Amino acid sequence: MTMRSEIAEQPEVVQRALATNADVVAGIREELRNRSYDYALIAARGTSDNAARYAKYLWGAHNRIPVALAAPSLFTNYRRPPQLGRSLVVGISQSGQSPDLVTVLAEGRRQGRPTLAITNAPDSPLAAQADLVLDICAGAEHAVAATKTYTAQLLAVAMISTAFDRGTDTADLAPVAGYMEEVLAGEPLVEAAAAEFADLRACAVLGRGYNHSTAFEWALKVQEVTYALAHPYSTADFRHGPIAVVERDFPILAVAPDGPLFRDMLDLLAEVGARRARTLVISNVPAALEAATFGLPLPETMPEWISPMVAIVAAQLFAYHLATVKGLDTNQPRGLSKVTKTI
């Protein structure tokens, strides 16, 4: 299996996970009804941390559940874990092997808090510390850069949202695989965009709201497989200083689906466009695609809350083709390993 084949496998992974986990999520819903919690504390690293950023917006907006991202070093190196109060302690990890994340869930259990693991390894040390486990069902992932495990984590986060909110159902996620297939069908356009950005050495990556996670994951994929410096920002944070770096031909990658924050992104694209920045925009709104140097379309009818699972597919393809144009190995990037264990 290669990075490219694992990108293409994502619609199948989504369909499998939805079919496999519908009853599991129903069981998690029943278990959570019997536990008291006011907020979620999520421990994650790397790509999984970006899935946690999605949870921060999705669970906050859909379920009105505040989400905090844990600082695992407090639990390990400093040995000063905070009081977890009325929290639901969640660990998100592809491998479930990183000792610092395991320690966070173990401390949650020690303090009597409910614990949940979202992982591709249901027999892992992380899962062993969890009261509840959701297997993301991505199957073995061989390329070092995570692709299908990331979108499977996003799907799991969305499925857990249905467990919080009894008014929704996992069936609401049924269109995701079809949306992904539409993006995959547009790969020739993505390949052409990568050729236009073949000289990319540094860039800013912008996204806000639900797609704050997409900006961070897109930046990570570019760094992992192309070795370019990619700095992710929300549009708000970008205006607080970093926008000063923008000059003629400076590369800016942006994800801009329709939604409450679209106007803010469109205004920023106009501002950097006036400085002659070179922009690549992933969007389902014609105005954003037309404002870009190069536009990559998303399905027009896709809800914003679903868009991170779909927009990242275009971003993954871009990173893959950019690395290919540069003549780099996308399956085994230098200095990286599939499982990273941190303390």
Please list the residue range(s) of the chain that carry CATH number 3.40.50.10490.
3-173, 177-325
Per CATH, the homologous superfamily of domain 3-173 is Glucose-6-phosphate isomerase like protein; domain 1 (3.40.50.10490)
- Residue of 191, 235, 229, 195 lying closest to 214 (CA atoms): 235
223-269: per-residue pLDDT in tens? 999 999 999 999 999 999 999 999 999 999 999 999 999 999 999 99
**Amino acid identity, position 186:** G
Per-residue pLDDT of the chain (343 residues; tens, 9 = 90+): 899 999 999 999 999 999 999 999 999 999 999 999 999 999 999 999 999 999 999 999 999 999 999 999 999 999 999 999 999 999 999 999 999 999 999 999 999 999 999 999 999 999 999 999 999 999 999 999 999 999 999 999 999 999 997 666 788 899 999 999 999 999 999 999 999 999 999 999 999 999 999 999 999 999 999 999 999 999 999 999 999 999 999 999 999 999 999 999 999 999 999 999 999 999 999 999 999 999 999 999 999 999 999 999 999 999 999 999 999 999 888 766 656 767 6
Count of CA atoms in the C-beta half-sphere (13 A) of 9: 22
* Contact (Cβ atoms closer than 8 angstroms) between residue 330 and residue 6: no
CATH 3.40.50.10490 matches 177-325 = yes
- Please state, in angstroms and rounded to a whole number, the distance separating the CA atoms of residues 249 and 277: 5
- SS3 string, the chain, reads CCHHHHHHCHHHHHHHHHHHHHHHHHHHHHHHHCCCCCEEEEECCCHHHHHHHHHHHHHHHHHCCCEEECCHHHHCCCCCCCCCCCEEEEEEECCCCCHHHHHHHHHHHHCCCCEEEEECCCCCHHHHCCCEEEECCCCCCCCCCCCHHHHHHHHHHHHHHHHHCCCCCHHHHCCHHHHHHHHHHCHHHHHHHHHHCCCCCEEEEECCHHHHHHHHHHHHHHHHHHCCEEEEECHHHHHCCHHHHCCCCCEEEEECCCCCCHHHHHHHHHHHHHCCCEEEEEECCHHHHHHCCEEEECCCCCCHHHHHHHHHHHHHHHHHHHHHHCCCCCCCCCCCCCCCCCC
Edge-to-edge strands of the sheet including 39-43?
Answer: 67-69, 39-43, 87-93, 115-119, 132-135
pLDDT of residue 336: 66
**Burial level of 331, CB count in 10 A (0-12/13-18/19+)?**
middle
For 147, 281, 301, 309, the CA distances from 177, given in Å and listed in that order, are 14, 22, 14, 9
- Please state, in angstroms and rounded to a whole number, the distance separating the CA atoms of residues 310 and 298: 8
Count of CA atoms in the C-beta half-sphere (13 A) of 258: 11
Dihedral through CA 319, CA 323, CA 324, CA 329, nearest 10?
Answer: -120
> How open is the CA angle 136-312-141, to the nearest 5 degrees?
40
pLDDT of residue 175: 97
Q: Could you tell me the sign of the dihedral formed by the alpha carbons of 94, 95, 100, 104, in that order?
A: positive
pLDDT of residue 338: 54
Average pLDDT of the chain to the nearest whole number: 95
Query: For residue 203, how far is the Cα from the chain centroid?
Result: 19
pLDDT of residue 171: 83
Catalytic positions, written as ranges: 338
pLDDT of residue 333: 83
The pTM score is: 0.96
